[in-house]
Amino acid sequence: MSFLHFLSYGAALLSFLFVTYCLACGLYHLAEFVEEYTVLTKKIIKKVTLAVVLIHILLCLFDGFPIWRTLFSIMCHGIYTLNLKTFPFISLTSPSLILSCVLVVANHFQWFQYFTSRYFVFMEVASFFGTCIWMIPFAYFISISANDNTLPSFDPNSDHLPARNKGGILKNLLNFILQKKDDLIPMTAQTISSSPPPPISSSTLVSGNLRKNL
């Protein structure tokens, strides 16, 4: 065991921490974007959903992907679009969201079974799952973090009044993680400023009165 071997483990750990921090910052930025541009986000999700459906059809035509699995995946994306009716106000207890969560897991496992029974390059499998399986559900997951105080007048198709919450699930979670370090900083300046002034002695008061009389 050489020193370079231990150094490689340390560098791998630092790389993992750096990637995790960058991922958290990227998610926070996406949550901010969804909160500020809800109507634009809704249009982007619609267009990306159509693009994913088109990719499924092209894979079925040119690469011989199974028809029934492709139709099931297209049906899943059709169910996902039901959440756009009340976008960005997606209720965690709505039937469309619960059904979408079940279909995400079912769609993942049916394609996982297909790829494990045949040989594919890892990059091809990762690209398919990232683009055709998880991209649209991940977009809806980020959209859940949209600010509930967003005015519905920005979206002409929205008839739902927002709740009086101050933040979304994802953004509040990231705020808790990123701002946890603030609790470790000692409040020295606040302690000094909030401490009461020292008591004034009687000798100081007498000397002050003598100076006034002189």
Residue-wise pLDDT for 118-128, tens only, equals: 889 999 999 99
Task: Tell me the mean pLDDT in the region 29-43.
Answer: 84
**pLDDT class of 51 with cuts at 50, 70, 90:** very high
**What does the buried/exposed string (b/e) look like for 167-190 if buried means 16 or more CB atoms within 10 Å of the residue's CB?**
bbebbebbeeeeeeeeeeeeeeee
The pLDDT value recorded for residue 79 is: 93
* Domain ranges (residues) in the chain: 40-178
What is Dmax (Cα atoms) for the chain? 106
**pLDDT at position 153 over 50:** no
**pLDDT at position 134 over 70:** yes
**pLDDT at position 192 over 60:** no
Residue 4: other Cβ atoms inside 10 A? 7
**How many CA atoms, within 13 angstroms, populate the side-chain half-sphere of residue 105?**
5
* DSSP string for residues in 134-150: SHHHHHHHHHTTS-TT-
The pLDDT value recorded for residue 207 is: 53
C-alpha 106/C-alpha 81 separation (Å) is 17
Residue 24: other Cβ atoms inside 10 A? 14
Q: What is the pTM of this model?
A: 0.64
Residue-wise pLDDT for 60-84, tens only, equals: 999 999 999 999 999 999 999 998 8
